[in-house]
């Protein structure tokens, strides 16, 4: 059983979908928006202006900052799935890297957990260079946290996040993952169907992980 998460209403609905373990917003028109206007909030602790030549792709979840392109979580062709009810996810406004809140992932105590963004049709991400994500936890069960991207349910490239600076020391760690590193693990960047998958191991029910500031970036010449 897999759950679908909407980051706008912070609610969960049940879906039936088979998944191999190795393997935010409501509908509002076309998926991609170039140069969409971003309306800042005075309370947001982020740089609201992109660096000259920088472009960002929002995946429609875990991000409230400025972007030049976005793929909405529309529950039609782009989805966020929680695999096998293995964790819960809610908005959390007590801490964050950017925006007004982050997202709080809570382990349900199983032998593993996982979830991610899935697209019904493959997209070409070969023009993007880096995946950014910020994480915070004090639970040792998240020490072995892995990031994956999929070409299909059975074609997946995975990376351990500890070599990129993630530690469970109850501090925020803003990671930069070169997409070339996933490509070296066999990912075809021109045919990505799951651009963000997080996979973890056994833990105690109630173990917590904060997630924020997730986006892809590239620099124009």
CATH code, domain carrying 172: 2.60.120.430
Residue 185 lies in a domain: yes
Rounded distance between C-alpha atoms, residue 167 and residue 74, angstroms? 32
Rounded distance between C-alpha atoms, residue 114 and residue 105, angstroms? 10
pLDDT for 124 beyond 80: yes
Residue 25 lies in a domain: no
Q: pTM for the complete prediction? A: 0.81
Residue 23 lies in a domain: no
Neighbours of 104 (CB within 10 A): 19
β-pairing verdict for 208-219 and 146-152:
unpaired
Residue 179 lies in a domain: yes
pLDDT for 4 beyond 80: no
Which of 221, 219, 220, 120 shows the shortest CA–CA distance to 176? 219
Residue 107 lies in a domain: yes
pLDDT for the residue 48: 63
**Backbone angles phi and psi of 29, in degrees to 5:** 95, -160
pLDDT for the residue 153: 80
Neighbours of 102 (CB within 10 A): 25
pLDDT for 5 beyond 80: no
Beta bridge partners of 217: 56, 130
pLDDT for the residue 220: 86
pLDDT for 19 beyond 50: no
Long-range CB contacts for residues 67-71, cutoff 8 Å, separation at least 24: 67/36, 67/38, 67/215, 68/34, 68/35, 68/36, 69/32, 69/33, 69/34, 70/31, 70/32, 70/33, 70/36, 71/31, 71/32, 71/119, 71/123
Q: Which two tokens stand for residue 85?
A: 């009810």
**Backbone angles phi and psi of 11, in degrees to 5:** -130, 160
Give the mean pLDDT of 174-200.
98
Rounded distance between C-alpha atoms, residue 74 and residue 88, angstroms? 20
pLDDT tens digit sequence for 129-182: 999 999 999 999 999 999 999 998 889 999 999 999 999 999 999 999 999 999
Residue 63 lies in a domain: yes
Domain count, the chain: 1
Residue 24 lies in a domain: no
Percent of the chain residues topping a pLDDT of 70: 78
Task: Give the max Cα distance, the chain.
Answer: 47
Q: Specify the higher pLDDT residue, 106 or 47.
A: 106
> SS3 for 162-206, per residue?
HHHCCCCCCCCEEEEEEHHHHHHCCCCCCCECEEEEEEEECCCCC
pLDDT for 32 beyond 50: no
Residue 142 lies in a domain: yes
Q: Which domain holds residue 91?
A: 2-18+30-37+48-219
CB 102 within 8 A of CB 44: no
pLDDT for the residue 105: 98
Q: Is 140 helix (H, G, I), strand (E, B) or coil?
A: helix
pLDDT for the residue 31: 39
């Amino acid at each position: 059983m897999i759950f679908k998460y909407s980051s706008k209403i912070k609610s969960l609905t049940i879906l039936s979908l088979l998944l191999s373990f190795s393997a935010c917003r409501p509908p509002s028109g076309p998926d991609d928006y170039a140069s969409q206007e971003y309306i800042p909030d005075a309370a947001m602790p982020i740089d609201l202006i992109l660096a000259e030549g920088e472009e960002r792709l929002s995946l429609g979840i875990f991000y409230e900052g400025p972007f030049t392109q976005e793929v909405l979580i529309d529950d039609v062709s782009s989805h966020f799935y929680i695999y096998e009810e293995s964790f819960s996810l809610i908005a959390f406004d007590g801490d964050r890297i950017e925006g007004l809140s982050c997202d709080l992932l809570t382990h349900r105590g199983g032998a593993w957990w996982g979830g991610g963004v899935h697209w019904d049709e493959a997209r070409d991400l070969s023009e993007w260079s880096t995946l950014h994500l910020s994480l915070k936890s004090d639970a040792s069960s998240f020490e072995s946290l892995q990031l994956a991207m999929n070409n299909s349910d059975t074609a997946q490239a995975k990376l351990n996040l500890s070599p990129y600076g993630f530690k469970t020391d109850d501090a925020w760690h803003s990671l930069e993952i070169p997409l070339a590193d996933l490509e070296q693990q066999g990912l075809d960047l021109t045919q990505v169907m799951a651009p963000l998958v997080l996979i973890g191991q056994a833990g105690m029910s109630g173990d917590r992980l904060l997630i924020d500031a997730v986006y892809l970036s590239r620099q124009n010449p």
